[in-house]
Amino acid sequence: MKTIINYSHHLLEEIIQPGETVIDATCGNGNDTLFLSKLVGEFGEVIALDIQEQAIDNTDQLLMDHNCTNVSLVLDSHANIENYLIKELEGNIGGAIFNLGYLPKSDKTIVTEGESTVKAINTILQYLKKGGRIILVIYYGHEGGEEEKHIILKHVMSLDQKNYSVLRYGFINQKNNPPFIIAIQKK
Ligand SMILES: C[S@@+](CC[C@H](N)C(=O)[O-])C[C@H]1O[C@@H](n2cnc3c(N)ncnc32)[C@H](O)[C@@H]1O
């Protein structure tokens, strides 16, 4: 069985095409950004956001180490993602990933929050292509994590099944609040 990270990437590589524009809504140390950068290739673009300068710097360094030049790094909340999307992208975003929680080995009080995450999800859903996916990797063991988890689950469970398929993937016998995936696919 695929691990959470491997399955989140698998869900993206199934639907993202070279040349597309895609979003890493929480770039952190840049691992997902790098993965997306390779998927969309030299004619594609990754828009990668984070609210911490440290995260933007770490991602920038990782991308330079791998000679990736197709990423726009944005120091801002994903709640403001609409400011970085041009009209032509409506219906054309290939996919997006959110890796929730805090930056590993950093300040555990700077975390993603339910309301801004939901706002970003809603904006990206508008811009997503048909068949495109938003992947959420939900970590909730930290302070505030449970609350964010509940806000997100309530929201994605209310998405109309005529327009979206919503999947949950996770290991139900793991201890200590194991992360799980929510994947939303636009019909
Ligand atoms: C679990 S880490 C992401 C890990 C990253 N995907 C990687 O591969 O290394 C979560 C990140 O979300 C960022 N974050 C928190 N709130 C945010 C927001 N409103 N908008 C964008 N990023 C945010 C944190 O600063 C942190 O770097």
Residue of 112, 140, 151, 180 to test ligand 1 pocket, by largest number of atoms within 8 Å of CB: 112
- Amino acid code (one letter) for 23: I
pLDDT reported for residue 164: 98
Number of structural domains found in the chain: 1
φ, ψ of residue 100 in degrees (nearest 5) = -85, 165
**Residues 25, 74 contacting (CB under 8 angstroms):** no
Query: What is the Å distance from ligand 1's center to 86 Cα?
Result: 23
pLDDT reported for residue 120: 98
Q: What CATH number has the domain bearing residue 80? A: 3.40.50.150
* Residue 23: both structure tokens together: 């979003």
Domain of residue 176 covers 4-186
Chain position carrying tokens 């609409």: 82
Q: Is 106 helix (H, G, I), strand (E, B) or coil?
A: coil
Q: Is 63 helix (H, G, I), strand (E, B) or coil?
A: helix
Spatial distance between the Cα atoms of 181 and 97, rounded to a whole number of angstroms:
10
Q: What is the pLDDT of residues 14-61, one digit of tens each?
A: 999 999 999 999 999 999 999 999 999 999 999 999 999 999 999 999
Q: Is 168 helix (H, G, I), strand (E, B) or coil?
A: strand
Q: Round the average pLDDT of the chain to a whole number and report it.
A: 97
Please indicate whether residue 77, judged by its CB atom, sits closer than 6 Å to ligand 1: yes
pLDDT reported for residue 127: 98
Q: What is the pLDDT of residues 103-135, one digit of tens each?
A: 998 999 999 999 999 999 999 999 999 999 999
Chain position carrying tokens 């709640």: 79
Q: Which atom of ligand 1 approaches the CA of 33 most closely? A: 8
Chain position carrying tokens 């988890």: 149
pLDDT reported for residue 126: 98
**C-alpha distances out from residue 138 to 13, 65, 73, 177, Å:** 19, 28, 22, 10
- Residue 73's pLDDT band, with cuts at 50, 70 and 90, is very high
- Residue 96's pLDDT band, with cuts at 50, 70 and 90, is very high
**Residues 136, 157 contacting (CB under 8 angstroms):** no
Segment 138-143 shows an average pLDDT of: 95
Tell me what percent of the residues of the chain surpass a pLDDT of 90: 99
pLDDT reported for residue 37: 98
Please indicate whether residue 80, judged by its CB atom, sits closer than 6 Å to ligand 1: no
Please indicate whether residue 28, judged by its CB atom, sits closer than 6 Å to ligand 1: yes
